[in-house]
């Protein structure tokens, strides 16, 4: 019984790392290379992404740039500006911001 439970636990793979950021963005007819190029143009320091240590303002500017270029998050997330905690961030109050 213990062996069966142990093997079953391995099948679920609970501790998977987050995918690279470029896999989270989608756009009709965009290739993986298109996503990576857009991310770099929008100020992401690498295609792996990551926002650890970045301010809400920096994250919002990068996301807004991607949204303005027609990209969206694969899972439907509307970006940091959709969070109540980021509503006062200047980049979230911009008239340029596109919410799709």
pLDDT tens, position by position, 28-73: 999 999 999 999 999 998 887 666 778 899 999 999 999 999 999 9
> Which residue has tokens 């990068």?
62
Give the pTM: 0.75
* Closest residue by Cα to residue 96 from 54, 63, 51: 63
DSSP 75: T
From first CA to last CA, the distance across the chain in angstroms is 50
């Amino acid at each position: 019984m213990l062996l069966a439970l142990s093997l079953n636990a391995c099948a679920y793979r609970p501790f998977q790392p987050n995918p690279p950021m470029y896999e989270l963005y989608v756009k009709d007819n965009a290739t993986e290379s298109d996503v990576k190029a857009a991310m770099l143009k929008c100020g992401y320091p690498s295609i792996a992404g990551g926002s650890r240590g970045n301010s809400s303002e920096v994250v919002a500017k990068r996301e807004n740039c991607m949204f303005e270029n027609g990209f969206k998050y694969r899972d439907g997330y509307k970006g940091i500006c959709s969070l109540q905690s980021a509503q006062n961030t200047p980049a979230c109050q911009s008239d340029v911001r596109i919410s799709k």
